[in-house]
Structure formats: C-alpha cells, structure tokens
C-alpha cells in the first residue's frame, strides 16, 4: 500500500459491497504478493561473487585458529569485513554489541568403560561435549532415565529426563543416560543434576534423521556436571551393557567467560520504516571450524544481494534491514538480543523476517520453511504462508521442486516468530539423512547427511554445492526484492501482530473516503 493522492469527494458504496468486504475481513488472512521482476538483481548476484565472500571468510578463519566463533578475533574480523563493504555501498551500517557467555572446552573430553570391561571411547566419533557443560572427573555406574526403546514415531517422541518424576528411582552418584526429545537439553541436564547425577550422556532419539552423533548446547551457564552427547547406536549400546554392571569414567574440562560480540545491521537509506523487511543470517561459526556452509553460505548470499541492490540503484518502497547475527551457535543469542531490544512499536513495524541459514549443503535439497504448516504441522505467525508462497512460486517459475521444512526453532527466525513477526526462508539441510525419495527429487546420495561436515572442521570452502548455492542465492534475491517493493502488507495487517486483513480494511477505508 504505497502512498496515494486520494480525492476528498465521497462516493456511495453499495451495501452489498460493504457486506462483502467485511466478510473478507473476517475470513481472509492471506495476501497475494505483488509481482516483481527480479531478473536484473538475480543476474547481478552471481555465485562467483558469493564464493568470493566465502573465500574471505575462509581466509579469516585460517588466520584465526581455523574458526570464526562469536567473541573471538575470527568473528570480529568477519563482522568488520561485512561492515566495511556495506558502508562503502551506502547503507546505514552499525554494530550492535552485546555480552554473552563464551563456552570453551579446554581439553577434549574423556569417556571410557571401566567395568565390566575396559574400553576407551573416541571423542568426536562416539560422543561430544555439549556446549556449556560443566567440568568434572567422575567414575560411576550408568543409569537409564525413562528411555523409549525402540523409539517412537515423529509424533510419539521421547520425553526422557524432561520431568523430575523421571528420576524418582534414580540413584544419586550415578551417571544419567538420557534420550533426546521433547524438551531442551538444558532442562534434561538440570533435572539430572538436581536428582544427584554426577554426569549426563544425552543420546540421539533414534527416528530416521535423528540417529547420528550431534552437537548441542545447554543454552548457557548453570549446569555444573559433565554433559556429553552421543549417537543413538552408542547410547543404546551403553544401555544394553547396564545389566552387566556398566561403570564409566567421564571427564570434561571447560571454561565459561563473559565476552562481547556484535550483530552487524545495515539498513537501506530509503523505504517505509513502518514496513521493514528484515533479512538475516548468522555470521559466527562453531568452535574448531570455519563455518563456510554453516553459515558462510547464508551470510555471503545476503551480503551480495545487499551490495547488488545498491549497485543497481534499487530504491525500495519498504526499508530493508540486513542483519548478520552473532552467537547463533551459542543458542540464537544475537537474534534474541536484537528482538529483546525492540519496542512494541518497532516490532509492529517489521513486516517480515527472511532467514537464510545453510543454503549450500553438499548433499542438498531445496527446503522452504513451512509457513502455513500444511506440510509439517508447524506453522509460522500469520503471514508466514505468504513468505512460503513467494519462495515456492519462484521455484515453480524456474521449474525447480521444493519441500517444506518445519519452524523447529533452530535458527535466528525463532525470536522473531515468538513475537508474532511473519517469517520464512530457505535451507538445504544439515545433519539429517537424505531419504531415498529426496535423492530421487534432488539428486545426491540417500542415507547420508545433507551436510556430513555439519559443525565439524571440514565445513570449509570446499564443503559447498555450487549448483544449489547458485539457485538459492537467486531465490534470496527474488524474495528480498519482492518484499522490498510490495505495496501490500505481509500478514494481513498494515503493521505486525494483527489478526484481521488490513489490506482489505484499508481498501474499504479508501472507498469510504472517496
């Protein structure tokens, strides 16, 4: 709804039309995206330029111990790289500093069987230390906590360790074996510690795609005992040994300190500030890896889109706010901080949030966040279906299939949808295994992860599918330009968090004033 010059003359409106429009207000919450020719921007955003940004991030990691972790020089230099390019391009650029707790593992953890046999397990193969694990050096029996074996379906997941009642028969001084599922890792670990556990092993749940060794975070300080993650196979193998008197030696050495890091925010000089389009990607990597797919892919793509919009002289109707979030890998801390600093008015002034986290996975698929929930059962806020349609319609127009992916809270859209901001985005897959059906649609290899280097040191410049990165970068450019230029609101209201169809309301209001 751009600015218009309206006549002050009134006109009579048929009662039937008023009734029809009011009916639409009640029953309609969708919005049709205004068509936009994005071909010029898509042509300007080349995969070579995106790769040049990824190479710069790789070089920064190489010069800083192989990583770009929030609160370290590797991330600081990454942020400076992004800031300088956008500043030169004419954006209003700023750093948004915030403090957080940086977790560091001082030495690799140890896990070994001391009874009934003697077996040393392999760090990074059998188990990982979870972020924000406490330190400890303990030897104790292992005790299972409310496991679901065999695992249930996706609709019947484990809630092992989610309630204190799960520990009713737990023996203080033992190590707790807990299954992933339902609640946060932090809650599981805190409950175990409160029940007297001296250590915790959280193993993967067991359904397809939730079987491998995984990295996870406890979300911040407060857990004072060792906590490690494990694959489903390793967890069940340990569980099978419990009747034989399994005793484990478990050791972690960790440190948590307060650090300062920065989100990088770049705004277009023009455009409506009451209908802002937020375009986000996280810039930090996990410890020990350069993070070139996760998330140098999304970061590089939105950077190039921003630069080419400036180069082409795009003057958006709606202000576009590009944000490179920090400390996503520590638990979405950068995006949580950003949203926490917004006033109610500023929240309402954000029309949509577009999130791009991992868009070049080697064994990729084209996943679009399921805004209406019809494919995954988990919908975004009112208006998120519009975002999904923009992506799906674009891919359909170029003859490329897509699949829905759920708003599972694992990326920076999470804090935005919690306050009712419509959201959407793209994803090419992480640690889950590609199915046979997905391999038939998208190519690649069934039975292996979309990104076998997810959260590992091999997530480097070579760990990218160039074809899919190119396709996704084009879709990023199309969606950003579409929402930047639209004259309609996204979620059925003029600003965020409404529930009626504001597009229809404004049309009715305009008619009543004519």
Catalytic machinery residues: 328
List the Cα angle 270/276/282 in 5-degree steps. Answer: 105
Token pair belonging to 204: 């993967």
Which is it for strands 136-144 and 350-356: parallel, antiparallel or unpaired? unpaired
What is the 8-class DSSP label of residue 271?
Answer: S
- The phi, psi pair for 425, rounded to 5°, reads 165, -170
Token pair belonging to 272: 């409506």
| Strand blocks (E) in 326-381 | 350-356, 367-369
Token pair belonging to 375: 């494919």
**The length of the chain, given as a count of residues:** 514
Token pair belonging to 124: 């990074």
Give, in order, the Cα–Cα distances in Å from 107 to each of 123, 253, 255: 11, 6, 10
Distance separating alpha carbons of residues 216 and 421, to the nearest angstrom: 26
Residues whose CB falls within 8 Å of the CB of residue 215, separated by 6 or more in sequence, listed in order: 128, 130, 131, 229, 286, 455
**b/e string for 229-256 if b means 16 or more Cβ within 10 A?**
bbbbebbbebbebeeeebbbbbbbbbeb
Distance separating alpha carbons of residues 296 and 302, to the nearest angstrom: 10
C-beta of residue 231 within 8 angstroms of C-beta of residue 132: no
Question: Which has the closest alpha carbon to 337: 346, 328, 329, 349?
Answer: 328
DSSP state string for 447-485: TSBS-TTTTSTT-STTS--HHHHHHHHHHHHHHHHHHHH
Token pair belonging to 426: 């793209």
SS3 422: coil
């Amino acid at each position: 709804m751009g600015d218009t010059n309206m006549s002050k003359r009134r006109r009579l409106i048929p009662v039937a039309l008023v009734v029809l429009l009011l009916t639409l207000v009640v029953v309609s919450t969708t919005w049709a995206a205004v068509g936009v020719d994005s071909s010029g921007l898509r042509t300007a955003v080349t995969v070579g330029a995106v790769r040049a940004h990824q190479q710069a991030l790789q070089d920064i990691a190489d010069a800083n111990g192989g990583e770009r972790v929030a609160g370290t020089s590797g991330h600081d230099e990454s942020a400076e790289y992004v800031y300088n390019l956008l500043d030169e391009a004419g954006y209003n650029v700023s750093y948004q500093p915030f403090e957080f707790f940086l977790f560091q593992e001082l030495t690799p953890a140890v896990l070994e069987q001391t009874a009934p046999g003697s077996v040393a397990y392999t760090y990074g193969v059998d188990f990982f230390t979870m972020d924000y694990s406490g330190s400890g050096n303990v030897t104790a029996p292992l005790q299972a906590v409310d496991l679901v074996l065999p695992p249930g379906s996706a609709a019947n997941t484990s809630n092992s360790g989610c309630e204190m009642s799960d520990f009713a028969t737990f023996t203080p001084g033992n190590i707790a074996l807990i299954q992933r599922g339902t609640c946060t890792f932090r809650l599981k670990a805190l409950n175990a510690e409160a029940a007297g556990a001296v250590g915790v092993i959280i193993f993967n749940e067991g359904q397809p795609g939730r079987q491998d060794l995984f990295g996870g975070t406890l979300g911040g300080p407060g857990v004072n005992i060792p906590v490690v993650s494990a694959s489903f196979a390793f967890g069940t193998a340990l569980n099978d040994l419990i009747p034989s008197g399994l005793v484990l030696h478990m050791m972690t050495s960790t440190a948590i300190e307060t650090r300062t890091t920065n989100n990088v925010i770049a705004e277009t000089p023009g455009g409506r500030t009451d209908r802002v389009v937020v375009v986000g990607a996280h810039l930090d990597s996990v410890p020990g890896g350069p993070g070139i797919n996760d998330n140098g892919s999304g970061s590089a793509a939105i950077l190039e889109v921003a630069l080419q919009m400036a180069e082409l002289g795009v003057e958006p109707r709606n202000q576009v706010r590009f944000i490179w979030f920090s400390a996503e890998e520590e638990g979405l801390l950068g995006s949580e901080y950003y949203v926490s600093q917004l006033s109610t008015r500023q929240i309402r002034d954000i029309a949509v949030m577009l999130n791009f986290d991992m868009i070049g996975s080697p064994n990729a698929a084209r996943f679009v966040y399921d805004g209406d929930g019809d494919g995954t059962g988990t919908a975004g806020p009112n208006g998120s279906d519009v975002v999904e349609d923009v992506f799906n319609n674009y891919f359909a127009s170029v003859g490329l299939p897509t699949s829905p992916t759920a708003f599972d809270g694992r990326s920076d859209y999470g804090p935005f949808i919690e306050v009712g901001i419509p959201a959407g985005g793209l994803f090419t897959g992480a640690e889950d295994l590609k199915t046979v059906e997905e391999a038939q649609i998208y190519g690649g290899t069934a039975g292996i992860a979309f990104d076998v280097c997810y959260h590992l040191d091999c997530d480097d410049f070579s760990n990218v599918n160039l074809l899919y990165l190119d396709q996704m970068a084009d879709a990023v450019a199309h969606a950003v330009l579409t929402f930047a230029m639209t004259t309609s609101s996204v979620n059925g209201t003029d600003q965020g968090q409404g529930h009626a169809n504001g597009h229809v309301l404004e049309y009715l209001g305009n008619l009543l004033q004519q």
